[in-house]
Amino acid sequence: MATPSSAAAPASPATVLESAPRLDPKTLDSFRRLGFLQADLDPMGRLAPEPQPALEQDADPETAAWARRWYCGTIGVEFMHIPEPERRHWIRERMETDPQPPDRDRVLARIMRAETFEQLVQTRYQGSKRFSIEGVAALIPALGEMLERAAENSAQQVVLAMSHRGRLSVILNIIGRPAAQIFAGFEDVDARSVLGAGDVKYHLGATGTYAARNGREIHLHLVSNPSHLEAVDPVAVGRVRAKQTRLDDRDWTQVMPVVLHGDAAFAGQGILAETLNLADLPGFQVGGTVQVIVNNLIGFTTEPRCLHSGRFASDVAKRLPIPIFHVNGDDPDAVVRVAALAVDYRYAFHSDVVVDVIGYRKYGHSEVDDPTITQPLLYKKIEAHPPLWQLYAQRAGVSQEEAERRVAAMRAELDAAQEEAKGLDKKPSLRTLPRYWDRYKGGPFKPEYEVATGIGREQLGELARALTRWPEGFHVHRKIEALLKQRAEMGEGRRPVDYGMAEALAFASLVRLGTPVRLSGQDSRRGTFAHRHAVLIDVETGAEHTPLAHVAPGQARFEIYDSMLSEAAVLGFEYGFSRDYPEALVLWEAQFGDFANGAQVIIDQFIAASEDKWGLLSGLVMLLPHGYEGQGPEHSSARLERYLTLAAEDNIQICQPSNAAQYFHLLRRQALRPWRKPLVVLTPKSMLRHHDSASPLEDFGRDRFLNVVPDPEVANARRVLLCTGKIAHELRHERERRQDRSTAVVTLDQLYPLPKDEIAAELARHPNCNDLVWVQEEPANMGAMFYVHPRLERLAGRRVRSVRRSASGSPATGSAKAHLMEQQTLLTLAFTTGVTGGGA
């Protein structure tokens, strides 16, 4: 955990002991602990203060009256669970004092602008969804104040993430996009430009600049967001980490994340809880995220009692030792005060902090829903409740007449912008991409993007030497010493190179060239299958040495992290990182490919779709161990079929390298091509160190990755077995056993984009083939069959036989013996002309 830097001073420091020496410590302690339960937090009175015997019984009345003022007003703070006394003290000091009044004119203007915008849309675009912020409009001055405090703390960039509620208002009033651009979304201008693509207006990302009072400019970035609530959380944090890494922002000053949530989503979505857990983990820390709950005490039609078991939606945040500020959304002064406290706390302690702004929702879930059907009583009350600008104008001493005049002026400005939007004929872009994306390409693959990926023997030798040495006096584990010796022999060409070494050589060659490499996953430093050993541990001292970080002077960064045991948040984080570091090779590894479906939302909503929806690219690599080895239904399949159904318009690449050299070329290709596309790699398990998949050193000097790997042993075959992955090696052994000289085994190492020309060229090498077969280990309803088979028939212009396991509800058998029987059947069928079918 980081040590505090400078704790910003409170408005007028008044510690309890200095200012009020006669107060009863026990009573005070009770209020500090439990006062929030009696605070006045809900403008609609739903969160009625909970009677707390501990606050009343045996309390010293004078102290209770004094403490109630600080802890039971419109702010309720949970902080006594924080173990560090200086942090609790920091909060106490600031809570137990009268704050300086905010710039009320500015706060009022922000509320007016927010509510006027919503009202205009309400009248002009009836029936369209906008997810109004009315009821929690104090969010807008709160965000403004957060930016002011960030500027005071020397921030250069703030990354915001949020879902639908109030998003358009944030884009207008905080990010600062011109109103006409936002209205263009309602006008749906230039619809032709997004036929079959694009996204709804309240999901789009936006960038802007905030000019703070102290003269600083803060670059703002609101992250593009899918409907899937909270899925954006780890993506935003990963983006912040990448920006911080890029700026070498070691004390987490320059880039601050602010993530906004709905109360129902905060309480219900597991990915939020996962993301909170990243806060202090090596490789994932960002120096604290400001978490804001835009709390209207309702989720669609569902009430809080059905949404969370605890009293507050924020209770899940108590998994971290961080403060939670609840604040009544109808008291903008208090909201702004809490906003400032939250950012100052983040900067003081590099900690997450939660701001729970409690208000209500003026309309239905969207403006087309009628909430009086499900919450009739509540909505009678809401109907009669004045808008916040009226309440606050009164408090700020602005006459009704003057307030109405200001609102009318804002309305006129927005009306003009709406007129302007009607005249637009091009869809405006709400964002500017950073310069570091200039060099990179998306869209369909073009041959000109191809690069040579081979490297010479001498260079390979040099890299291997760097990878197999360790500092003087470092005590290497004896098994690792033996492994490094073998790797050194591989580098000299005296032993075939295995996957582990191939990967290390790829990484080493890239960092030496200046391409940073970042890899995370569960147990990735050693490698689930004990094949990587990227970090050496001194057996005497526990010290660490990472050879890849010491390849050459001036090399790029090499980072590798054992991640927490999560798929969704970690994959989301790495995707986010890749979005702000296109020059780096960023990889996420699943423990077994099967577990990646725990991150399906990130795969479907971001990795596969972000270019189509938002025009945003990523070069993220997913390493997914895959292969049928008798380890049961959940340790066999990376569910290749899922990725193939997601593939279209060259949105991703799906590869299964059949040997170590292929893996090496594939990783280098991914980093060196200017084409930035997510890459899904099915990686081996038992074959990691198997001599069948090891490669001679010469293959590393070959020009490039082969999308289709021909059979070097058989020309003009009578039978061609086309497959991917481990089964190719087994088919070759079966062929040998049968002494079959007329069967070729060809592997399709790139499945998507399908290398049609290379497949056709390979088939042309076997003009007398009369048995073309697709062979896969997976059941008929899984694997690549559904995708390859029809395309292959079209390409070959003939019937193609298929050999695979019978369709099944689960990917594999739980019995190792049954697995072997099935596997043998597959091999037999592959060599039996005329039989199509399953091996189980």
Ligand X SMILES: Cc1ncc(C[n+]2csc(CCOP(=O)(O)OP(=O)(O)O)c2C)c(N)n1
| Contact present, 292 and 261 (Cβ < 8 Å) | yes
Tell whether residue 725 is a contact of ligand X (CB under 6 A): no
Pull the structure tokens for residue 210. Answer: 């905030």
- How many CA atoms lie within 13 Å of 390's alpha carbon, on the beta-carbon side? 6
Among residues 109, 229, 256, 466, the one that binds ligand X under rule CB under 6 A: 229
User: Helix H segments across 647-726?
Assistant: 660-672
Total residues interacting with ligand X, rule: CB under 6 A: 15
Report the residue closest to ligand X, judged by CB: 262
Total Cβ atoms within 10 A of residue 648: 14
DSSP code, position 54: H
Tell whether residue 754 is a contact of ligand X (CB under 6 A): no
CB of 78 to ligand X, least distance (A): 20
CB of 361 to ligand X, least distance (A): 6
Q: Which is nearer to ligand X, 299 or 387 (CB)?
A: 299
- Sign of the dihedral through C-alpha 426, 430, 434, 437: negative
CB of 134 to ligand X, least distance (A): 11
CB of 518 to ligand X, least distance (A): 28
CB of 228 to ligand X, least distance (A): 4
Interaction pattern, residues 796-825, with ligand X; x per rule: CB under 6 A: ------------------------------
Candidate segments 224-232, 578-586, 800-808, 811-819, binder of ligand X by CB under 6 A: 224-232
Q: Which is nearer to ligand X, 139 or 759 (CB)?
A: 139
Q: What is the 3-state secondary structure (H, E, C) of 583-629?
A: CCEEEEECCCHHHHHHHHHHHHHHHCCHHHHHCCCCCCEEEEECCCC
Interaction pattern, residues 2-31, with ligand X; x per rule: CB under 6 A: ------------------------------
- How many CA atoms lie within 13 Å of 737's alpha carbon, on the beta-carbon side? 10
CB of 297 to ligand X, least distance (A): 8
CB of 233 to ligand X, least distance (A): 12
Among residues 72, 242, 265, 467, the one that binds ligand X under rule CB under 6 A: 265
Q: Which is nearer to ligand X, 313 or 660 (CB)?
A: 313
286: closest CA among 20, 577, 10, 638?
577
- CA-CA distance, 770 to 778, in Å (whole number)? 24
Among residues 233, 263, 462, 734, the one that binds ligand X under rule CB under 6 A: 263
Task: List the strands of the sheet with 743-748, edge to edge.
Answer: 708-709, 743-748, 719-723, 771-779, 801-805, 837-838
Contact positions with ligand X (CB under 6 A) in 151-190: 165
| Contact present, 593 and 625 (Cβ < 8 Å) | yes
Q: Which is nearer to ligand X, 202 or 774 (CB)?
A: 202
Q: What is the 3-state secondary structure (H, E, C) of 762-819?
A: HHHCCCCCCEEEEEEEEECCCCCHHHHHHHHHHHHCCCCEEEEECCCCCCCCCCHHHH
Q: Which is nearer to ligand X, 207 or 296 (CB)?
A: 296
Candidate segments 145-153, 223-231, 609-617, 681-689, binder of ligand X by CB under 6 A: 223-231
| Contact present, 240 and 255 (Cβ < 8 Å) | yes
- CA-CA distance, 379 to 301, in Å (whole number)? 12
Pull the structure tokens for residue 432. Answer: 């500017």
Candidate segments 114-122, 141-149, 293-301, 444-452, binder of ligand X by CB under 6 A: 293-301
What's the Cα-to-Cα distance from 258 to each of 290, 293, 382, rounded to whole Å? 5, 11, 29
- CA-CA distance, 138 to 539, in Å (whole number)? 57
Among residues 15, 154, 193, 227, the one that binds ligand X under rule CB under 6 A: 227
Candidate segments 297-305, 407-415, 463-471, 486-494, binder of ligand X by CB under 6 A: 297-305
Q: Which is nearer to ligand X, 306 or 764 (CB)?
A: 306
The type of residue at 758 is: E
Contact positions with ligand X (CB under 6 A) in 358-397: 361, 365
Candidate segments 12-20, 108-116, 296-304, 638-646, binder of ligand X by CB under 6 A: 296-304
Q: Which is nearer to ligand X, 299 or 521 (CB)?
A: 299
CB of 56 to ligand X, least distance (A): 33
Task: List the strands of the sheet with 585-589, edge to edge.
Answer: 558-562, 517-521, 585-589, 621-625, 679-683, 653-655, 750-752
Residue entry with tokens 């909970």: 50
Tell whether residue 262 is a contact of ligand X (CB under 6 A): yes
Total Cβ atoms within 10 A of residue 130: 24
Tell whether residue 132 is a contact of ligand X (CB under 6 A): no
First-to-last CA distance in the chain? Answer: 53
Tell whether residue 228 is a contact of ligand X (CB under 6 A): yes
Q: Which is nearer to ligand X, 328 or 605 (CB)?
A: 605
Q: Which is nearer to ligand X, 267 or 584 (CB)?
A: 267
Tell whether residue 140 is a contact of ligand X (CB under 6 A): no
Candidate segments 227-235, 696-704, 751-759, 800-808, binder of ligand X by CB under 6 A: 227-235
Tell whether residue 298 is a contact of ligand X (CB under 6 A): yes
Q: Which is nearer to ligand X, 12 or 302 (CB)?
A: 302
- Strand 255-262 and strand 290-295: the pairing is parallel
- What is the three-class DSSP state of 417? helix
- CA-CA distance, 707 to 696, in Å (whole number)? 19
- Please, is 106 exposed, middle or buried when counting C-beta atoms within 10 Å of its C-beta (0-12, 13-18, 19+)? middle
Tell whether residue 233 is a contact of ligand X (CB under 6 A): no
| Contact present, 617 and 582 (Cβ < 8 Å) | yes
Q: Which is nearer to ligand X, 258 or 506 (CB)?
A: 258
Candidate segments 138-146, 252-260, 292-300, 387-395, binder of ligand X by CB under 6 A: 292-300
CB of 613 to ligand X, least distance (A): 15
- Please, is 58 exposed, middle or buried when counting C-beta atoms within 10 Å of its C-beta (0-12, 13-18, 19+)? exposed
Q: Which is nearer to ligand X, 224 or 653 (CB)?
A: 224
Q: Which is nearer to ligand X, 263 or 589 (CB)?
A: 263
- CA-CA distance, 597 to 586, in Å (whole number)? 19
CB of 365 to ligand X, least distance (A): 6
| CA–centroid distance for 90 within its chain | 32
Q: Which is nearer to ligand X, 166 or 496 (CB)?
A: 166
Among residues 10, 76, 299, 779, the one that binds ligand X under rule CB under 6 A: 299
Candidate segments 142-150, 168-176, 221-229, 234-242, binder of ligand X by CB under 6 A: 221-229
CB of 296 to ligand X, least distance (A): 5
CB of 604 to ligand X, least distance (A): 12
172: closest CA among 201, 195, 129?
201
Tell whether residue 300 is a contact of ligand X (CB under 6 A): yes
- Residues contributing to the site for ligand X (CB under 6 A): 165, 227-229, 262-265, 294, 296, 298-300, 361, 365
